[in-house]
Chains A and B, each alone.
Chain A
Amino acid sequence: DAKTTQPNSMESNEEEPVHLPCNHSTISGTDYIHWYRQLPSQGPEYVIHGLTSNVNNRMASLAIAEDRKSSTLILHRATLRDAAVYYCILRDISGYALNFGKGTSLLVTP
């Protein structure tokens, strides 16, 4: 399985934008880029996914590099509720397992 690399932790101030990076240099042409987050004491929550083009939804934006070897999850205005572990996951078009790594622990300070 193609692997992803994320920073262990990041900090942000409340109401500021947050850019969470993810490297995936061995991505294949049939891999979707998925982002999930996990708040304390909850199951993971789907955030966004994309294949080649940038994507926007009500939660976040996903910027995908032209060569697809990296991507960035963008939270436009961080709130305290956005403090969570964020996972960047490559998922084959066949739809098999999500292979979670260690993710990035995001701390949001007032």
Chain B
Amino acid sequence: DAGVTQSPTHLIKTRGQQVTLRCSPKSGHDTVSWYQQALGQGPQFIFQYYEEEERQRGNFPDRFSGHQFPNYSSELNVNALLLGDSALYLCASSGLGGAQPQHFGDGTRLSIL
């Protein structure tokens, strides 16, 4: 049973460019959350999707947007990249509700030059 898969694993972009990161949830999971983890810090919540709708959003600008597809997979889009967007981007999937553990992928390492 495959866990959460993310692609690509590494990505290098330049300032001002746009990027799309992809996530396939663990089988049976319908909720997808995205997190940003800067070096040496804990993950910071970006947003959560359920039933193709953004259910909750963290303190991130509108340059960060997402989408969830009918098969529950998800994309994270970041526009107008800044140097400070360099980070590990993590996707987590779960069932709905606070008692449901989140299962994380190993992330996409995004470097902005």
Interface bin, chain B:
20 to 34
Within 8 A of B (CB), among A16-54: 30-32, 34, 36, 41-46, 49, 51
Q: Chain A binding site: helix, strand, loop or mixed by DSSP? A: loop
Check A46/B56 contact, CB under 8 A, given A94-B97, A95-B97, A101-B42.
no
Within 8 A of A (CB), among B46-66: 48, 55-56, 58
Interface bin, chain A:
20 to 34
Q: How many A-B residue pairs have CB under 8 A?
A: 67
| A80 at the binding interface (Cβ < 8 Å) | no
Within 8 A of A (CB), among B76-108: 90, 92, 94, 96-107
Residues of B within 8 A of A (CB): 4, 31, 33, 35, 41-45, 48, 55-56, 58, 90, 92, 94, 96-107
Residues of A within 8 A of B (CB): 30-32, 34, 36, 41-46, 49, 51, 85, 87, 91-103
